[in-house]
């Protein structure tokens, strides 16, 4: 069991439990854990570390942590059980139905989506380049597993989480905490919308192939190729989002 957990604890998960910024610490903890839950970095029904341990990992007081957990419970992202076998458990939210997602997409202009795509491509391109330069092939286990999960994800909600998690794990493979945090924030903002483009099996397979190509380039140390492939992957998804927006 411990060995399995260690394998699951990729770089992105380590970022989840790293100390938070000293400013507005309750909000920072809520955002950090909430984004991780929505992205699937923390699994549904997974038990969080005990309050004392989790507070120490995040570098906050237990009072601050309890306030944050209370806010997460109010958002439906965490449940707490008392007594033997109790603790705080992840409660992964249901992704909004397609009509609600389309309503949400209407809130974005095509110019805003293009700008988002540019920012996302820059993040993922830089992450792939740095990963190819810095990481060792044996350090890519979590990234490879996430890429394979996309091929078996049964529905659009699961696919969007895995797709976003891939880009977060890519940033973690670059050994950049700042890039990883930026990716987590971006995926939390746009990740659910990817349900609209990943519902088709054909594109799911295409996206999975692109992810595998990025990993191959990273493994080979081909940093320019890795960066180009990662950017292309993002731009294709952004183009599909824009196409969806134009039909509304």
CATH number at 45 reads: 1.10.10.10
Whether 61 and 106 share a structural domain: no
Q: Is 29 exposed, middle or buried, given 0-12, 13-18 or 19+ CB atoms closer than 10 A? A: buried
Secondary structure string (H, E, C) spanning 75-103: CCCEEEECCCCCEEEECCCCCCCHHHHHH
How many separate domains does the chain show? 2
The DSSP code for 42 is: S
Q: Report the predicted TM-score, pTM, of the whole model to 2 decimal places.
A: 0.76
Residues 192 and 220 in one domain: yes
* Residue 154 DSSP symbol: -
Alpha-carbon distance of 241 to 244, in angstroms, equals: 5
- Cα–Cα distance measured from residue 220 to residue 215, given in angstroms and rounded to the nearest whole number: 9
The last residue of one of the domains, among 55, 90, 125, is 90
**Looking at the domain assignment, is residue 3 inside a domain?**
no
Q: Token digits for 153?
A: 């994800």
DSSP 130-143: HHHHH--GGGGHHH
Residues 134 and 201 reside in one and the same domain: yes
Domain that holds residue 65: 9-90
pLDDT tens digits for the chain (248 residues)?
444 444 445 678 887 888 876 656 898 898 889 878 877 788 889 999 999 999 999 999 999 999 999 999 998 889 998 878 789 999 987 666 688 788 889 989 999 999 999 999 999 999 999 999 999 888 899 899 999 999 999 888 889 989 999 999 999 999 999 999 999 989 888 888 898 999 888 999 999 999 999 999 999 999 999 999 999 999 999 999 999 999 98
Of 58, 90, 122, which residue constitutes the final position of a domain? Answer: 90
């Amino acid at each position: 069991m411990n060995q399995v957990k260690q394998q699951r604890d990729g770089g992105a998960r380590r970022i989840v439990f790293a100390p938070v910024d000293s400013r507005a610490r309750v909000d920072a903890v809520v955002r950090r854990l909430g984004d991780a839950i929505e992205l699937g970095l923390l699994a549904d029904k997974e038990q969080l570390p005990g309050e004392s341990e989790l507070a120490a990992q995040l570098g906050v007081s237990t009072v601050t942590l309890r306030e944050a957990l209370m806010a997460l419970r109010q958002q439906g992202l965490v449940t707490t059980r008392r007594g033997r076998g109790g603790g705080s458990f992840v409660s992964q939210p249901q992704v909004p139905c397609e009509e609600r997602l389309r309503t949400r997409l209407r809130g974005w202009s095509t110019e805003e989506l293009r700008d988002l795509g540019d920012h996302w491509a820059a993040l993922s391109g830089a992450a792939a380049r740095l990963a190819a330069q810095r990481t060792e092939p044996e350090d890519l286990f979590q990234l490879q597993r996430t890429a394979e999960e996309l091929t078996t994800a049964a529905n659009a909600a699961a696919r969007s989480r895995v797709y976003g998690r891939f880009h977060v794990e890519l940033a973690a493979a670059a050994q950049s905490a700042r890039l990883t945090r930026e990716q987590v924030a971006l995926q939390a903002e746009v990740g659910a919308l990817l349900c609209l483009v990943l519902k088709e099996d054909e594109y799911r397979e295409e996206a999975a192939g692109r992810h595998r190509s990025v990993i191959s380039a990273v493994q080979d140390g081909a940093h320019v190729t890795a960066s180009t492939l990662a950017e292309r992957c993002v731009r294709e998804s952004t183009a599909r989002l824009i196409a969806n927006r134009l039909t509304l």
